[in-house]
Chains A and B, each alone.
Chain A
Amino acid sequence: MALKFTEDHEWILLEGNVATIGVSNYAQEQLGDVVFVEVPEVGADLSKGDELAVVESVKAASEVYSPVSGAVVAVNGELEDAPTLVNEDPNGGGWFAKIEVSDPTEIDGLMDEEAYKTYIEGLD
């Protein structure tokens, strides 16, 4: 089980060969109040770098890109009625989608929690 982060502030939790993806607390702070999340279709085949989701805040839309390649096996249906889960619980209940990864080594280059903490400290 590995928790990794991307430079675009997504987190990815790999359990076996299924990865759960969401955005970090830093991301939700930057986004502001989330009013809508467009999640992918279950069954969609994504390549690393493809658009995974769109997060709409009051002011603007932000794309979230998939850090891994694979098939979407689940999406968070709760976000439809409660998009603010992304703000309230970005690391847990605010997850976007689960992907069955085709190449688990794709996450090797990503930051672990410590490295991500350092990375965001350097941003402000």
Chain B
Amino acid sequence: MSDTSATEKTILYDLHVKLGAKMVPFAGYDMPVQYPDGILKEHLATRESAGLFDVSHMGQVVITGENPAAAIEALIPGDIQALSAGGMRYSFLTNENGGILDDLIVTRREHDLFVVVNAACKEQDIKLLTDGLAGKATVTELKDRALIALQGPKAAAILSGIAPEVASMSFMSYQEVNIDGALCFVTRSGYTGEDGYEISIPNEQAVQLTSKLLGHNGVTAVGLGARDSLRLEAGLCLYGHDLTESTTPISAGLIWAISKRRREEGGFPGASVIQAEIANKPEMKRVGLIPEGRAPAREHTEIADLDGNIIGEVTSGGFSPSLQMPIAMGYVPLGFAAIGTDLNLIVRGKARPAKVVKMPFVEQRYFRD
């Protein structure tokens, strides 16, 4: 039962197949969902040592122009102008209703911006950026580069073994590093809650460098399955699920990504809606949920109050390998968002008790220098 539509392959495809990965179509690419050891082991290996992920399906974009930092602020609420070279921020493209079109990472480099966008929204985002910046900046997709992530408590020791300068990088910073002759763009950032790096490598050197890292004893190849369980434990949103065009940054709990200056000045799509939500509080709020028992509550599970009224929906849910219990994220009305609130989740027609909990579910261990 194969997908007959043409799917793309990243430069690391053959490597995944050689490692025995189970490949699945994702955002138009054939990607590894897991390797033979399985999702649980890959997840735990990342928290215990280091996991290596192929994220080359994501979009890597460079924005050039007279003042790209100022220009991009017309499209995102991030404070990019405040960044010095090598600084980076998590932000999102918004629409006139204050809804989120995609989340992304913007890095300010010496002469341009380096932006990484989600694979599923790549085409849409590049078009949006190109059209939105027309006349002010040029948007170029870097199709000749791979992107890998090395995440985990041992990631720094392992990567600095072949590139010593990465050890002193601050969290959320960028550096160009020559690793074995490959000019890499390295950021100390990630999507797992652990310390780690994302490394953009020229395609010609990607297989070699990735294989070298995988050859290290403390590194495990990790697929998209564990990538999802790791980010869920870290309380991180997945676009298309926890963030959509119908969710605003305030209701999603992302006000921290909009600086004071940008909250006051606006100047991005939907600014007035977002400013109003900051002033008047949003209607719905993203919360963490822990169901009682062991049955996971997955995306689209209805959330009910104790009287049986349906009040919201789960947007991400699964089983936490680190905590050995089900965890979920969903949206509820503000009045039900307090930590400790008792709710019911309707799983297969049955109301199962759950509690609102603080996120992240698993403590984040970002590098603090």
Contact = CB atoms under 8 A, between A and B. Distances in A.
Interface of A: 32-33, 35-36, 38, 54, 56-61, 80, 83
Q: Which of A36, A58, A60 has the most CB of B within 10 A?
A: A58
B229 A58 contact: yes
B18 interface: no
Nearest to B298: A61
B225 A38 contact: no
A57 B226 CA distance: 12
Given A35-B319, A36-B319, A54-B348, A59 B39 contact: yes
B354 to A, nearest CB: 15
A32 B34 contact: yes
Given A36-B294, A38-B295, A80-B294, 13 more contacts: A32-B38, A32-B39, A35-B294, A35-B296, A36-B295, A57-B39, A58-B39, A58-B40, A58-B229, A58-B319, A59-B228, A60-B298, A61-B298
A54 B298 CA distance: 13
Interface in B322-336: 326
B291 to A, nearest CB: 10
Nearest to A30: B22
12 contacts: A32-B39, A33-B40, A35-B296, A56-B295, A56-B319, A57-B319, A58-B40, A58-B43, A58-B225, A58-B321, A60-B298, A80-B294
Contacts of B348: 38, 54
Contact of B225 (A32, A56, A83): A32
A58 B295 contact: no
Given A32-B38, A33-B40, A58 B298 contact: no
A90 to B, nearest CB: 15
A55 to B, nearest CB: 11
Interface in B23-48: 33-34, 38-41, 43
A59 B232 CA distance: 12
A83 B294 contact: yes
A2 to B, nearest CB: 30
Interface residues of B, number: 20
Contacts of A57: 39, 319
B353 interface: no
Contacts of A36: 294-296, 319, 326
A37 to B, nearest CB: 9
Nearest to B324: A35
Given A32-B38, A32-B39, A32-B225, A58 B294 contact: no
A96 B333 CA distance: 39
B294 A59 contact: no
Nearest to B43: A58
Contacts of B296: 35-36, 56, 61
Interface string B221-233: 0000110110000
Contacts of A38: 295, 348
Nearest to A56: B296
A83 to B, nearest CB: 7
Contacts of B38: 32-33
A80 B295 CA distance: 10
A80 B202 CA distance: 49
A31 B162 CA distance: 38
A38 B352 CA distance: 13
B318 interface: yes
Contacts of B43: 58
Q: Which of A33, A56, A80, A83 has the most CB of B within 10 A?
A: A33
A47 to B, nearest CB: 18
A58 B232 CA distance: 12
Q: Which of A36, A54, A80 has the most CB of B within 10 A?
A: A36
Contacts of B229: 58-59
A80 B34 CA distance: 25
Nearest to A35: B319
